[in-house]
Amino acid sequence: MKIGFIGLGTMGRPIAARLQRAGHELTVHDLRRDAAQALVDHGAQWAEGPAHAAAAAEVLFTSLPGPAEVESVALGANGVQDALRAGSAWFDLTTNSPDCVRQLHAALQDRNVQLLDAPVSGGPRGAESGKLALWVGGDRETYDRYLGLLRTIGDQPCYVGAIGAGSVAKLAHNCATFSIQTALAEVMSLGVKAGVAPAALFRAIRQGASGRARTFDRLPDHFLAGRFDPPAFPVHLAHKDLVLALDLARRHDVPMRVAQNALAELEEAMRRGWGHRDSRVAMTLQEERAGVTVRVPEDQLRTLLD
């Protein structure tokens, strides 16, 4: 298959190399000519600009830093928007703005070009090994047609919904990642300052209930199902534990901004009389603020973790 690939950075270069090793004919472009050298040495064609990379491609991939770069590649001088041929598909692997991909998608509709947002997750090692998730938004028929090609890139391609849905899923995932990262920084600094060696503390945290389970695998049991009775771990005990942890933090002069927010949620749950319900019921407070209900039907819950 003739493939155009634009953006040969930390993620793009190993992804393009996987496509090349699978036997596809690549035309590649990057702002830095040397980023493409290894691919060119193995038979890829160098494109002087984005339009050249897109012109002959059955499928175009872009892997760029963000919305500004995607818009430049699409709409700038020598951009791909007018170069993509009718019937072709463009998969944007960038962690992008949903608004950006939706606007570009609309602009390409009259030219019979399907743009799908397909951000990836797995980091440089995953890009090398093919252990990547791809969250794809856009035309379902196009996704199905190129599913085999997407599986060359990553082992977990997933159709999420209409155009922009892939970007929404990726931003939600990364927001969770960095929020959890901040919370872990708090608890590790608390434990170490309170006298536990870092390695021992890590082992202890990893052996607990949250450490043993994949973090997101716990969502279907209570929150996604809307089941908070009978409790697996009630609000009043969660509140007690967090109060004790924050008291420990105060005595050791450790700031705990994320944990303070968590305590505020549990305190509101207690005020509402939810003390003997499952602690995950406090998550519904955010639903109220956002004006949305997050639930999955019972028959789908059974398949979510497959």
Contact predicate 10/124, CB 8 Å: yes
Contact predicate 7/30, CB 8 Å: yes
Question: What sign does the CA torsion over 117, 91, 15, 305 have?
Answer: positive
Query: Tell me, what amino acid is at 56?
Result: A
**Length of the chain in residues, anyone?**
306
* CA gap 100, 281 in Å, rounded: 35
Contact predicate 143/116, CB 8 Å: yes
* CA gap 151, 102 in Å, rounded: 24
User: Catalytic site residue 170?
Assistant: yes
Query: Tell me, what amino acid is at 287?
Result: E
Cβ contacts of 278 within 8 Å, gap of 6 or more? 222, 227, 228, 229, 230, 231, 232, 233, 234, 235
Instruction: Give the active site residue among 2, 131, 170, 240.
Output: 170
- C-alpha distances out from residue 171 to 66, 93, 121, 185, Å: 12, 13, 11, 21
Contact predicate 94/108, CB 8 Å: no
Residues belonging to the active site: 170
